[in-house]
Amino acid sequence: MPKVRITDVSLRDGSHPVFHQFTLDQIVRIAGALDAAGVPVLEVAHGDGLAGSSIQYGFSKVPDLELIEAAAATIKQAKLAVLLLPGIGTIHDLKEAHKRGAKMARIATHCTEADISAQHIAAAKELGMETVGFLMMSHMLEPDALAAQAKLMESYGADLIYVVDSAGAQTMDMVHDRVTALRQALDAKTHVGFHAHNNLGLGVGNAVTAVKAGADNIDGACRGLGAGAGNAATEAIVATFNKMGWETGIDLYGVMDVAEDIIGGELGVTPIVNRPSLVLGYAGVYSSFLRHAENASKRFGVPAFKILEEVGRRKAVGGQEDLIIECAIELAAAQGAPAPELAAV
């Protein structure tokens, strides 16, 4: 019977649909409830990782380090994780997060750029943190090439390496092939994980496929609270894994309460597969681009899904959010809209 460790990312990836406006009270109550339900790992940070609060990605209501410290003071059994994207967050940010109680560092790079994670993985290991390599937009790389990137992260000291479907663009066959390639290429002691987005409606199915292919770490978010159409829902993952006889150690009804009462009830957020989010998966676009495209749509009078189609055609990746505005302006001009007045910087 497989034993699968679940990381709940509601308080990091879930920052995107709430525009990074989590309050300290919300962090404390959600983290406390997930901890009480037996969720073994909780991730807390700005949606774009440590130091993501900026004009480029959106400003947080409360600084990362305060959110991390509040969560760390609340939880009793869960391990607290943070996400860091080299080029956004720094080793200094990682050290500060560790001081506030973070025990796991998830170092995220584009799937072809594992080499930029070496210093950050090494720093996390020196701090005594469990260290995770996070290969984003992994649909853009063939399985063997992805496995080669994972081997680099392993050589830097990563304990666990994730196939990350940042665009929610992978079918179950794609997930199977990529997770299998990592499992076959990596040392037996190196764990393999999978992070799903639900843009094609395949989040939970892809999580099941990943476990069957050898992953023993799976990400979820309560009520699917995450970028795009959301992540695979933690409560649905737990229910499905229970029915399959797979052990998670999580109280299903406890995570259902968080999903229903706090996220759905109090926050009033339920990510769904709609036209713009479906285009994310279909065109292979970074899920966090959705809110930026919606804002550009209102500003320039161009449908969000059209903007995302064009961004996908250009094969934009995380960090290229400026292309969203560029595409919106060009599409608006093509449909005869007057040139927008851009605010002076």
279 lies in some domain: no
Residues 209 and 313 in one domain: no
Question: Cα separation of 65 and 72, whole Å?
Answer: 10
63 lies in some domain: yes
Per-residue confidence (pLDDT) for residue 20, from 0 to 100: 95
Is the Cβ–Cβ distance between 28 and 70 less than 8 Å?
yes
Is the Cβ–Cβ distance between 297 and 279 less than 8 Å?
no
Residues 12 and 63 in one domain: yes
275 lies in some domain: no
CA terminus-to-terminus distance, the chain: 58
Phi–psi pair at 225, nearest 5 degrees: -65, 100
Residue 67 belongs to what domain range?
5-266
Number of domains in the chain: 2
What lies within 8 Å, CB to CB, of 259 at 6+ separation is 222, 223, 233, 234, 235
Residue-level length of the chain: 345
Residues 47 and 181 in one domain: yes
Classify burial at 306, counting beta carbons within 10 Å of its beta carbon; exposed 0-12, middle 13-18, buried 19 or more: buried
Residues 21 and 65 in one domain: yes
CATH code, domain with 308: 1.10.8.60
Residues 308 and 201 in one domain: no
What lies within 8 Å, CB to CB, of 268 at 6+ separation is none
What lies within 8 Å, CB to CB, of 277 at 6+ separation is 168, 199, 228, 229, 271, 287, 290
DSSP-derived letter for residue 264 is I
Split at pLDDT 50, 70, 90, the class of 312 is: confident
Phi–psi pair at 226, nearest 5 degrees: -170, 180
Question: Cα separation of 70 and 102, whole Å?
Answer: 11
Q: Is the pLDDT of residue 128 over 50?
A: yes
DSSP-derived letter for residue 227 is S
Residues 109 and 19 in one domain: yes
CATH code, domain with 112: 3.20.20.70
16 is catalytic: yes
Residues 170 and 309 in one domain: no
How many CB atoms are closer than 10 A to CB 155?
A: 11
Average pLDDT over residues 128-156: 98
Residue range 5-45, pLDDT digits in tens: 999 999 999 999 999 999 999 999 999 999 999 999 999 99
Residue range 176-209, pLDDT digits in tens: 999 999 999 999 999 999 999 999 999 999 999 9
Neighbouring-strand partners of residue 133? 107, 161
How many CB atoms are closer than 10 A to CB 189?
A: 7
Greatest CA separation found in the chain? 62
